[in-house]
Amino acid sequence: MKIRIEKVSSFCDVQNRVAPNTIYFSDDSNNAYYMVMIDEIPKIGLSFTDFGILPVFLQNNQTGLLYIGFGRKIVVIETINLIEIAEYETSSAVFDLFLYDEISMVVLICETSVYLFVNDKEIDSMEFPDVIKDYNLTDEVIHLKLDHGESYEISLSRYVNNNKEENLKKS
């Protein structure tokens, strides 16, 4: 299954190309419109406020779930029938998604927060006092650098062991 996201010029373009129940909205005032193309066929519409950040997606082949982050929202969709499984509002604009393979954990990086999902369930979220400027994953730890120079680490191995104590530490 080949998935890509394509920008369209108006909400009318979205309405004319996908079923009404497959259009997702992130904000009250929307000015960015995208189509999620699956095998080159428009399947899902997105409408949100343009923060200058493109929508992101991740397909987890192990679970058959598609995660789409856009604006201040993430939707989890079952890819075979394109049925919505879950929808979450985030506290800030979505930047990136990646998969931590150890337990099929999906990590959502937002402007000032990080969310962790296993399958369609949010298992944790963390808010930060400033904008996340950079991040990377090494040895089961997400290293975050904030705009004003602060650094944080989130240990993902603690989630594997179901021990959420001390999952976040300032470095």
pLDDT the model gives residue 63 = 87
What are the pLDDT digits (tens) for 157-171?
Answer: 888 765 344 444 555
pTM: 0.87
What are the pLDDT digits (tens) for 12-42?
Answer: 999 999 999 999 999 777 899 999 999 999 9
Whether 132 shows a pLDDT value over 60: the answer reads yes
What are the pLDDT digits (tens) for 48-90?
Answer: 988 888 999 999 888 889 999 999 999 999 988 888 899 999 9
Domains in the chain and their CATH numbers?
A: 3-170 (2.40.128.630)
pLDDT the model gives residue 93 = 92
Q: Please, are residues 140 and 157 in contact by the beta-carbon 8 Å criterion?
A: yes
